[in-house]
A and B are shown apart, each in its own frame.
Chain A
Amino acid sequence: MITYIVRRIMMAIPLLFGITILSFGIIQIAPGDPTALMIDPMIRDKDLVAYKELYGLNDPIYVQYLKWVGNMIQGNFGDSLIRQGVAVNELIMARLPNTLLLMLVSTILAIFISIPIGIISATKQNSLADYTFTFFSFLGIATPNFWIGLVLIMFLSVHLGWFPTGGVATLNEPFSIWDRIHHLILPSIVLATADVAGLTRYIRSSMLDVLKQDFIRTARAKGFKQKKVVYKHALRNGLIPVITIFGLMLPSFIGGSVVVEKIFGWPGIGMLFFDAAFQRDYPVIMAITVIASALVVIGNLLADILYAIFDPRIEY
């Protein structure tokens, strides 16, 4: 098992390098450069050249890349171009915990909602409950996150006043766990919706598949009741393919968090990324791209390991 994990990590390293090259390349192709935004339009050409020189923007692209990667390996993402003198590390570290918290809570939410719904839909196939869940799943898949977010804010926060409209905590109040949870509820529900909808469908079809298998008939022939057949014999088999799907869903999750954080004023790296992208704050954009990619790679690694734990047929 350990060697399997180590081997998988080794395989992830070249992947991460590929990602740094790609993201660096894409940013270079994108029009506009930071000097256009940060500098007084009346600046003299001579000063502009000096500015570019100062930030290394005149170096050949591969030199810029190597410098950046070299620093990054040492854990240094450089300074923000827009907020002068502030290290990117600092910006990210201030926000990463918020994002991770949001993602963790909505992942747990997504899992705990979609597994029971998927099981009910599969075991009571074509029942009213199944049709209802199916209807809402497709609705959930088809509805963009930001729209659900805005509607919830409008009704639950603005009209009914049940939830705060945004932020991680009430300003100028001492820390309180309830206040934090209160702020977490809406954004994590919104972030979870798209995934709950998709996951429910996957779990349903996977469970339907498993329930048709011969070993389920064997379990029934042993005299086990429906509950035991479903939870002991079918569920674990049914979740195996879902683990992979879950790993594949991570990127959309991170993408979704950018939108959700912006809407809910959640000071996470999603929001930071959003602002940085509009300000062409290269170092911040790049750092977040790399971190997000690393999260995806780690997520898939975890999915693979879980897969190996769940399915004894995987040899490692």
Chain B
Amino acid sequence: MSALLEVKNLKTYFVSKKRVVPAVDGVDITIRKGETVGLVGESGCGKSMTSLSIIGLVPSPGGKIVDGQILLDGVNLVDLSENNMCKVRGRDIAMIFQEPMTSLNPVLTVGEQIIEVIMYHLQLNRSDATQKAINLLKMVGFPRADKIIKEYPHRLSGGMRQRVMIAMAMSCNPKLLIADEPTTALDVTIQAQVLELMKELSRKFETSILLVTHDLGVVSELAERVIVMYAGQVVEEALVDDIFDKPYHPYTEGLIDSVPLIEGAITRLNSIPGNVPSPEEMPKGCRFAPRCRVAFDRCYSEEPTLQSISTSRFVRCFLYEEGEVNGCSRL
């Protein structure tokens, strides 16, 4: 399988007169056709900025892609004009967001919001687009889709709205679907249904998914590969099974440990001490060092690079220099 999306050394900075905030600082992501990749990390580590960079919606003024390439089928999106980028957005790359309650326009009907995107990108007339919208809504689980298209968003529940968002995103059969915390705002049972739906659709249409979340449970449910971000950088990349089996980076280990585990009657919850450093005051050396349980001298003076451990595994930590796998036992 060839790569659908290749993000190379992406740097997205917020530049103001007073300071420069490197929200995304040299990120590489590769997604193959039909593949689902999870992008995880704590709040503020740059997941949303990475995904907004890919779809070309970095908040402006202020935010800007200052370096790197985003290749979609070999075309560098960073170099595209705004006009050409408009043809990519919603058609080749679609995006769904965390807040289903506020992500739909309150004064337009659900149907209109799906129909307009179909008419815009696929040049269908209104009645064909309406028919397609009804089919899409049926596909995401609205049996009475012909009724739903006439409803306004405020009449639907959060889960229903997120299904509408998914129908909308899938309407032009995108090559890549970016889902930024698609289930975070939903309750657990609805969450499972929405994830199931996304899994089914990506299989059916061979859509690649970039799944942004801080919930490792969601990742293990849906993704084949995981990319772990910390402070604007990728710190580990691995197949899902491998990473849960044996996380390499101390940060990944901390993340996995902080997922609530139910052991008998006792719920164990470990959290990583401290906070993500704010991008404008990055620590010298390894960015995770001040919070790391196994940091040593070198970690405070030198910045580690992303090391390749195997073809599918990368880690940014001095414990794994030269491909040697030692240390970081799960004490």
Interface residue ranges, A against B (CB under 8 Å): 213-215, 217-225, 232-233, 236-237, 240, 310-313
The docked-state distance in angstroms from the alpha carbon of A137 to that of B82 is 33
> Across the interface, do B154 and A218 meet the contact criterion of CB distance under 8 Å?
no
State whether B57 touches A312 (Cβ < 8 A): no
- Residues of B within 8 Å of A240, CB to CB, are 107
Considering the complex, which residues of chain B in the window 54-83 have a beta carbon less than 8 Å from any beta carbon of chain A?
55, 57, 83
Known: A218-B103, A224-B90. 7 other contacts (CB 8 A): A215-B104, A220-B89, A221-B97, A223-B88, A225-B86, A237-B105, A312-B106
Complex-state Cα separation, A215 to B94, whole angstroms = 14
A215–B57 CB distance below 8 A: no
Majority secondary structure of chain A interface residues (helix, strand, loop or mixed): helix
Contacts of A218 in B (CB 8 A): 97, 103-105, 165, 168
Given contacts A218-B103, A237-B106, contact A223 B87 (CB under 8 A): yes
Q: What is the CA–CA distance of A219 and B95 in the complex, to the nearest angstrom? A: 10
On whether A312 and B154 interact (CB within 8 A), knowing A217-B57, A219-B105, A222-B117, the answer reads yes
- B121, CB-defined interface residue at 8 Å: yes
Size of B's binding interface in residues, CB under 8 A: 29
Residues of B within 8 A of A219 (CB): 105
Interface string of B92-123 (1 = CB under 8 A from A): 00110101001111111000000011001100
Contacts of A222 in B (CB 8 A): 89-90, 94, 116-117, 120, 168
Q: Is chain B's binding surface mostly helix, strand, loop or mixed?
A: mixed
Question: How far is A220 from B88 in the complex, measured between Cα atoms in Å?
Answer: 11
Q: Which of B162-193 contact A (CB under 8 A)?
A: 165, 168
Assess whether B57 is in contact with A224, with CB atoms less than 8 Å apart: no
Residue of B with least CB distance to A218 = B103
Complex CA–CA separation, A224 to B91 (angstroms): 11
Q: State A232–B117 Cα separation when bound (angstroms).
A: 12
CB closest chain-B residue, reference A212: B59
Check B90 against A221 for contact (C-beta < 8 Å): yes
Q: State how many angstroms separate the Cβ of B231 from the closest Cβ of chain A.
A: 24
Closest CB in chain A relative to B267 CB, distance in Å? 33
For residue B105, which residue of chain A has the nearest CB? A215
Q: Bound complex: CA of A124 vs CA of B96, how far in Å?
A: 27
Nearest chain B CB to A206's CB is how many angstroms away?
Answer: 13
18 contacts between A and B (CB under 8 A): A213-B102, A214-B99, A215-B103, A215-B104, A217-B103, A218-B97, A221-B94, A221-B95, A221-B97, A223-B86, A223-B87, A223-B89, A223-B121, A225-B83, A232-B116, A236-B107, A237-B105, A311-B106
Contact A224 B120 (CB under 8 A): yes
- In the complex, which residue of chain A has the Cβ closest to the Cβ of B87? A223
The answer for the CA separation of A312 and B108 in the assembled complex, in Å, is 8
Residues of A within 8 A of B142 (CB): none
Say whether B300 faces chain A, with CB atoms less than 8 Å apart: no
A221 B102 Cβ-Cβ under 8 A: no
User: How far, in Å, is B13 (CB) from chain A's closest CB?
Assistant: 20
Give the A-binding residues of B (Cβ under 8 A): 55, 57, 83, 85-91, 94-95, 97, 99, 102-108, 116-117, 120-121, 152, 154, 165, 168
How far is A311 from B117 in the complex, measured between Cα atoms in Å? 22
Q: Is the CB of B57 within 8 A of A221?
A: yes
Q: How far is the CB of B233 from chain A (nearest CB, A)?
A: 25
> Complex Cα distance A215/B97, Å?
10
* Distance to closest chain A CB from B82 (angstroms): 8
What chain A residues lie within 8 Å of B106 (beta carbons)?
215, 237, 311-313
Q: A214-B102, A221-B89, A313-B152 are in contact. Are A237 and B107 (CB under 8 A)?
A: yes
Chain B CB within 10 A, most for which of A213, A215, A223: A223
How close is A209's CB to chain B, nearest CB, in angstroms? 13
Contacts of A232 in B (CB 8 A): 116
Q: How far is the CB of B104 from chain A (nearest CB, A)?
A: 6
Docked pose: A213 CA to B117 CA in angstroms: 19
Distance A224 CA – B83 CA, assembled complex (angstroms) = 9
Of the residues A217, A221, A313, contact of B154 by C-beta under 8 Å: A313
Complex: A224 Cα to B121 Cα, angstroms: 9
Which residues on B sit within 8 Å (CB–CB) of A311?
Answer: 106-107
Closest to B88 in A: A223
B83, closest chain A residue (CB): A225
For residue B172, give the distance in angstroms from its CB to the closest CB of chain A. 9
Q: How far is the CA of A224 from the CA of B86 in the complex (A)?
A: 6
A310 to B87, CA, bound (A): 30
CA distance A218 to B89 in the complex (A): 10
Distance in angstroms between the alpha carbons of A224 and B165 in the assembled complex: 16
Please indicate the chain A residues that have their CB under 8 angstroms from the CB of B108 in the complex: 233
Contact of B97 among A217, A223, A225, A233 (CB under 8 A): A217
Ordered nearest first, which 10 A-B pairs have the shortest CB separation? A223-B90, A223-B89, A222-B90, A214-B102, A312-B152, A215-B105, A221-B95, A222-B117, A223-B86, A214-B103
Give CA–CA (A233, B106) in the complex, Å.
Answer: 9
Contacts of B94 in A (CB 8 A): 221-222
Chain A residues with CB under 8 A of B168: 218, 222
| Minimum C-beta distance from A237 to chain B (A) | 6
Bound CA–CA A311/B153 (angstroms) = 12
Asked whether A312 and B117 contact (CB < 8 A) given A217-B57, A223-B89, the answer is no
Q: Name the A residues within 8 Å of B154 (CB-CB).
A: 312-313
Residues of A within 8 A of B88 (CB): 223
Contact call A221/B86, Cβ cutoff below 8 A: no
State the Cβ distance, B281 to closest chain A Cβ, in Å: 27
A223 surroundings in chain B (CB, below 8 A): 85-91, 117, 120-121
- Expressed in whole angstroms, the minimum distance between the Cβ of B52 and any Cβ of chain A is 9
Bound-complex Cα distance A185 to B169 (A): 51
